[in-house]
């Protein structure tokens, strides 16, 4: 696991009325101060990658579909510098993923359903000075192969 990335498996409490899940809660290691919450839906087969932030934490929760989340540590002083981590998150594996600054992140939609994701950020988006840098999904330095590996 990449140093500083925090993952919380989500517990589901079910009864005859439905279910309840706690997602983000102050005091847990995945919690970051939230200054903005956004929601996105992404179509099957789409890759949204990579981007990273200098100051901002992202806290992701996939509520619909399944995503292959890919993280790459760009922090030169980190013990996991240059390492890539893959996480499968979504309806079938609910979790919160807290992504620190200088960790590039992106995802690919798996299966035939859209991915719906909430993301909480520790900074509000400022279009005049965005804290967001982009890297191509096929960047040779990261070198991630997004194809499904049949086994």
Q: Is the pLDDT at 149 greater than 90, yes or no? A: no
Q: What is the pLDDT of residues 48-75, one digit of tens each?
A: 999 999 999 999 999 999 999 999 999 9
Catalytic sites, residue numbers: 51, 119
Do 85 and 114 touch, CB atoms closer than 8 A?
Answer: no
Residues 2-45 have pLDDT tens digits of: 999 999 999 999 999 989 988 998 999 999 999 999 999 999 99
Structure tokens at 88: 């499968």
- At 109-140, the pLDDT tens digits run 999 999 999 999 999 999 999 999 999 999 99
What single DSSP character describes residue 10? P
Q: Where are the domains of the chain?
A: 6-24+32-124
Looking from the CA of 133 toward its CB, the CA atoms found within 13 Å total 11
Fold of 6-24+32-124: Jelly Rolls (2.60.120)
């Amino acid at each position: 696991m990449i140093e500083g990335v925090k993952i919380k498996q989500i517990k589901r409490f079910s009864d005859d009325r439905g279910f309840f899940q706690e997602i983000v809660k102050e005091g847990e290691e995945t919690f970051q101060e939230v200054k903005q919450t956004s929601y996105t839906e992404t179509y099957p087969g789409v890759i949204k990658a990579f981007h990273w932030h200098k100051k901002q934490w992202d806290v992701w929760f996939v509520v619909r579909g399944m995503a292959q989340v890919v993280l790459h540590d760009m922090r030169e002083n980190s013990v996991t510098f240059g390492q890539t981590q893959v996480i499968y998150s979504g309806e079938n594996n609910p979790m919160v993923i807290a992504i620190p600054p200088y960790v590039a992140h992106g995802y690919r939609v798996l299966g035939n359903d859209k991915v719906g994701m909430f993301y909480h950020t520790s900074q509000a988006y400022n279009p005049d000075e965005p804290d967001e840098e982009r890297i191509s999904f096929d960047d040779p330095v990261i070198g991630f192969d997004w194809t499904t590996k049949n086994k």
